Amino acid sequence: MSSLSQTPPIVAPVPRLRRRARSAPLARYALLLLFAVIVLIPVYVLVVTSFKGVLETDASHAWSLPHLWTTEAWSQAWTQLSPNLGNSFKLVIPATVISVVLGALNGFVLSKWKFPGADIVFTLFLFGMFIPYQAVMIPLTTLLEDVHFPAGIPRLAFAHIVYGIPITALIFRNYYATIPNDLMEAARMDRAGMLRTFWSVVLPISMPAFVVAAIWQFTSIWNDFLFAVFIITDPAKWPVTVALNNTTGSLVTPYNLQMSAALLASLPTLIVYVLLGRYFMRGLMAGALKG
Amino acid sequence: MTRLRRVRRWGPGLLLLTPSIILIAVFVYGLIGWNIKVSLSDWRTSVKSTHYAGFAAYKDLNSDPVWWSYNMRHLAVFTVAFIVGTLIVGWTLAFLLDKGVRGEGFFRAVYLFPMAISFIAAGIVWRWLMNPAPGDRTSGLNAIFDKLGLHALENQWYLGQNWGMAAMAMPAVWALSGYIMALFLAGFRGVPEELREAARMDGASEYRVYRHVVFPHLRPVTLSALIILGHISIKVFDLIVAIGGKQVITMVPAVYMWINIYDAHDYAKGAAIATLLLLGISILIVPYLIFTVRSERNA
Amino acid sequence: MADIVLDDIYKRYPNGFEAVKGLSLEIADGELLVLVGPSGCGKTTALRMVAGLEDITSGDLFIGGHRVNDVLERDRDIAMVFQNYALYPHMTVAQNIAFSLKLAKAPKHEIRARVRETAELLGLENLLDRRPKQLSGGQRQRVAMGRAIIRKPRVFLMDEPLSNLDAQLRVQMRGEIEALQKRLGVTTVYVTHDQVEALTMGDRIAVLRDGVLQQVGTPADVYDNPANLFVAGFIGSPPMNLAHATVENGSVRLGETTLPAPPWLKAERVIVGVRPEDLHQARNGGPALQAQVDRVESVGASLLVHFPVDARDAKSRALAAATGGPVLEAVPLTGGEGTSAFTATFEPRSMIRAGERVSVGVDPERLHFFDPDTEQTLRP
């Protein structure tokens, strides 16, 4: 489970609180840049090492740029990890889609079509987000085995969908809370039932929440290690994060392969982050207080 | 009659939620119950056994030399280093960004990007960075200190005997500071500008404005941050495995549980560890959840 | 087409708070009844109970002769216009208006025709393809009305539809809404906190305070014959002047002034009320109040002259009740405790200025009397 999955984001369509960009004192810029550099050091290491040949990966050349830029580490990583990348995609895309849709429906009911005790139910859901998943791993695997749930990726997808219920419900519920109630009442007066109201009135304005929830789930599920390592026993079916740790992450693997493999495994989430990160950040920033 | 009408109104909602309610009831609460049951059983080998054995597994754990001197001590050191480090860095970044700088979007994107990386991938890099090899084979951060002449800073990092786990917290701080920054930044900016302006008009220096207007506003955010970081710390698994593997010198409860189940097949003991983790988290989370829901209701 | 009957309606919340207490009203078919009162008086709650958006704790609600307490809002054939319009943000004006018809699975050509018809009625023909966020407040308000009208319901409910518009627009829309209602002839219940709006629009108005009906009647009725101190002080702008007075020997002693008392008035302690427009610059003798002018406000068509009367103030109690706040002693600028601030309307050309002495003529026929303890109007 990535760090991402453990931190609750909130989405709210409030205007971004952005201060007027002013020229800040030099000291502040310097500090910010310093921090940025520190944060990016691991990226430097990853990129630089991944393009080195095996001969250059020893201690004496630790920090220098490659003398000879080569992609041999990359092609090795690709050979080793591409089946696992495939597994990850097969896992993440259906799981994210289902999880997000479920979250939208749940969030809608919990915020706008409440039944008596809805808030208590929501709190009980939320607690499920904080539990140490280790605590349920054994019974989970046993249970799935006992009911003959299709082994491999489907099982893992199912687990992620189930344990993704709390966080997706949280994201959508908090977002839908910002929709004025009289919109729901107007729909009621127009004779719309619950599903119709969801479909015609709420869903069309849910895009921000969908984006945040989708990015969140995509990243969490892609980066997950714990669930995958417990649930998937056949190494051929490992998602890329597990494969990364168990094959290319080991200490006997040359550094350039380790780094290229780590980068390769992180590429999809990085791409998602680069392309859609600003929407994600908007959500985090706007409502993060209620975390 | 009116009751029927009311049910007609919220009934469909409950119906729609029911599958999720069942799933959570089974897979969260049901399995937690199962776990607790196992922890109280005598299932100590790969042969399943479900007889009640009281707190035997817990007692075993208590007297297990690895538990207190390694697991718990490591967890404590890690937790403190992690929480303090992340709070300081996150807060500082938010403070620096609060007034707005050109390129704020760029900086925010940089600080937050570690959240997109899995702990496993991050672990690979940080393991390299924290390479403890001395002398000729110095690399990673030690190599930089060497080149800069800061020999005193070179150390064993995560393999350090006493404070290794504090070093282990570094990648965690790296990964989570961005999130805490986002929390604090939203907190800083949640202070209405009028409040700050009123204080300035009343003659307060900028320092005073921060101290008396802004910081008090940050208490709930800080509390949120503490709780979230605390619960992450207790659960930390991926990172430790990626960097330290199953070594005793970096052992934490979450990893120890994994070992007990998969290598030692001591299910009851593993379940006991898991239950204790759950207990630790509950102490943090339950009051927090109640507080959040209640304040939401009052709002 | 339907009449509405509320019979002893109560709304009690789980925490014990009663928003509406024993409300009984009969609204005739085709009538425009205005529910008016200060914030928190229960008027919106009452409206929502008629709509079906709130449950009725006790009492009966009849629409068109049928008891509808247990009928869902969607089946009551009622349309509502919300205070904040509640327009569907992602739909065009045409789609917003047509939504209910679309849900009822009306044929497309019929929907198109009715949308057109409704748009023409409201002057929205050129805006049909816009989204709500591209519209002005007044336009949004009309779309909200269109959404209600197109359904041809038997009842319209309007919850402060004009309160978010600026003053000028409000005045214009008032007339439009009233004309529309007359034209369509649909029974309408209209909620507002603005008593001027209530007086100009309603066929009848019902004044509420703290969930209790104070008075129901035509605007003229409620204005000329308020049932109690609250209605007297709430209805009318500027508000009625109210002060304590004593009655002896057929005369009313209001401070230093003696005014003839009506023969039927038996009480010894009263609260006297007189509207500013019934106080004029005195001419030709007759009962008058002598005072030094505090300040003068010009409102264009008349001059509001504020002056103290040395009688204990009763206006503040009524006003406080009206605004729901603590009792504030409205002590005039001159004079101290035990004086009331009175207002009279003078001709704009009278050129009175602050500090001058004036003689304010009082027509004894236009005095109102209230019991100081029960606050009820005293009548023959």
Verify that C45 and C166 share a domain, yes or no.
yes
Domain boundary among the residues C178, C203, C229 is at C229
List all chains that touch chain A, counting a touch as 3 or more CB pairs closer than 8 Å. Answer: B, C
Examine the domain organization and report whether C339 and C215 are in the same domain: no
Chain A nearest-CA distance from B83, in A, is 14
Range of the domain at A147: 3-23+80-290
**Residues C156 and C176 grouped into a single domain:** yes
Instruction: State whether residue C167 sits within 8 Å of chain A by CB.
Output: no
Residues in chain A with CB shorter than 8 Å from the CB of B235 are 1, 6, 132-134
Domains annotated on chain B, with CATH: 1-38 (no CATH), 57-298 (1.10.3720.10)
C225 and C97 share a domain?
yes
Helix (H, G, I), strand (E, B) or coil at B25: helix
Q: Which two tokens stand for residue A235?
A: 């190494």
Q: Per the structure, how many domains does chain C have?
A: 2
Query: ∠ CA B78-B81-B82 to the nearest 5 degrees?
Result: 80
Three-class SS of chain C: CCCEEEEEEEEECCCCCEEEEEEEEEECCCCEEEEECCCCCCHHHHHHHHHCCCCCCEEEEEECCEECCCCCHHHCCEEEECCCCCCCCCCCHHHHHHHHHHHCCCCHHHHHHHHHHHHHHHCCHHHCCCCHHHCCHHHHHHHHHHHHHCCCCCEEEEECCCCCCCHHHHHHHHHHHHHHHHHHCCEEEEEECCHHHHHHHCCEEEEEECCEEEEEECHHHHHHCCCEHHHHHHCCCCCCEEEEEEEECCEEEECCEEEECCCCCCCCEEEEEECHHHEEECCCCCCEEEEECCEEEECCCCEEEEEEECCCECHHHHHHHHHCCCCCCCCCCCCCCCCEEEEEEECHHHCCCCCCEEEEEECHHHCEEECCCCCEECCC
Domain membership flag for residue A178: yes
Residue C234 in domain = no
- Per the structure block, which two tokens stand in for B236? 């930390």
Chain C neighbors (3+ CB pairs < 8 Å): A, B
One-letter amino acid identity for B189?
R
**Contacts of residue A188 in chain C, CB cutoff 8 Å?**
53, 73-74
Question: Which residue, A81, A79, A53, is CA-closest to A65?
Answer: A53
Q: Could you list the residue range(s) of the whole structural domain that residue C303 is in?
A: 239-370
State pLDDT tens for residues C13-42: 989 899 999 999 999 999 999 999 988 889
Question: In this structure, is residue A177 part of a structural domain?
Answer: yes
Domain co-membership, C55 together with C199:
yes
Instruction: Give domain status of residue C109, yes or no.
Output: yes
**Cα-Cα-Cα-Cα dihedral of A274, A278, A279, A284, to 10°?**
110
Residue B22 sits at the chain A interface (C-beta within 8 Å): no
Q: What is the mean pLDDT of residues A132-147?
A: 88
Percentage, residues of chain A above pLDDT 70: 86
C94: domain CATH number is 3.40.50.300
Contacts with A278 (C-beta within 8 Å, 6 or more apart), sequence order: B105, B109
The answer on C290 and C214 residing in a single domain is no
DSSP 3-state of A67: coil
* A68: in domain: no
Query: Number of A:B CB contacts under 8 A?
Result: 317
Chain B: give the shortest CA distance to residue C266, in Å. Answer: 51
pLDDT, one tens digit per residue, over B94-150 is 999 988 888 888 888 899 889 889 999 998 889 888 887 776 666 778 777 777 777
Interface of C with B in 23-82 (CB under 8 A): 55-56, 69-72
Residue B293: pLDDT band with limits 50, 70, 90:
confident
Report chain B residues whose CB lies below 8 A from the CB of C12. Answer: none
pLDDT single digits (tens) B250-262: 889 999 988 888 8
Measured CA distances, B164 to B73, B132, B278, C373 (Å): 11, 11, 25, 82
What interface predicted TM-score (ipTM) does this complex get?
A: 0.86
Same domain, C94 and C220: yes
Q: Give residues with Cβ within 8 angstroms of B193, minimum separation 6.
A: none
Are C57 and C202 found together in one domain? yes
Residue A106 lies in a domain: yes
What are the average pLDDT values for consecutive 10-residue runs of chain C, which has 380 residues? 91 92 95 93 95 93 93 91 94 95 93 94 93 93 94 94 90 91 94 92 93 95 93 90 89 87 88 91 83 89 88 74 58 61 87 87 90 88
**Chain A contacts of B228, Cβ < 8 Å?**
6-8, 291
Residues in B touching C48 (Cβ below 8 Å): none
The answer to whether residue A61 sits within a structural domain is no
In terms of domains, do C359 and C216 share one?
no
Q: Are residues C177 and C262 in the same domain?
A: no
Note the pLDDT tens digit of each residue in A72-120: 888 988 998 999 999 999 999 999 999 999 999 999 999 999 999 999 9
Within 8 A of A273 by CB-CB distance, chain B residues are: 113, 115-116
Contact A198, A108 (CB under 8 A): yes
pLDDT tens digits, B24-35: 999 999 999 998
The reply to whether C211 and C247 lie within a common domain is no
**Between chains, do C69 and B9 touch, taking CB under 8 Å as contact?**
no
Dihedral of CA atoms A142, A148, A150, A151 in degrees, nearest 10, equals 40
Contact C72 B6 (CB under 8 A): no
Which chain A positions have a beta carbon within 8 Å of B35's beta carbon?
135-136, 138-139
The number of domains in chain A is: 1
pLDDT at B227: 86
Q: Which residue of C has its CA nearest to A188?
A: C74
Q: Do C100 and A190 touch (CB under 8 A)?
A: yes
Looking at C208, C229, C250, the residue that finishes a domain is: C229
Residue C161 lies in a domain: yes
Phi, psi of B160 (to 5 degrees): -60, 140
Contact call for B4 and C72, based on CB within 8 A: no
- What is the CB neighbour count within 10 angstroms for residue B267? 25
Across the interface, do B8 and C72 touch by the CB < 8 Å criterion? yes
Would residue A121 count as lying in a domain? yes
Using an 8 Å CB-CB cutoff, list chain B residues near A128.
24, 28-29
Nearest CA in chain C to A183: C86
Find the CATH number of the domain harbouring A10: 1.10.3720.10
User: How much is the pLDDT for C323?
Assistant: 65
Of B29, B124, B281, which has the smallest distance from its Cβ to A259's Cβ? B124
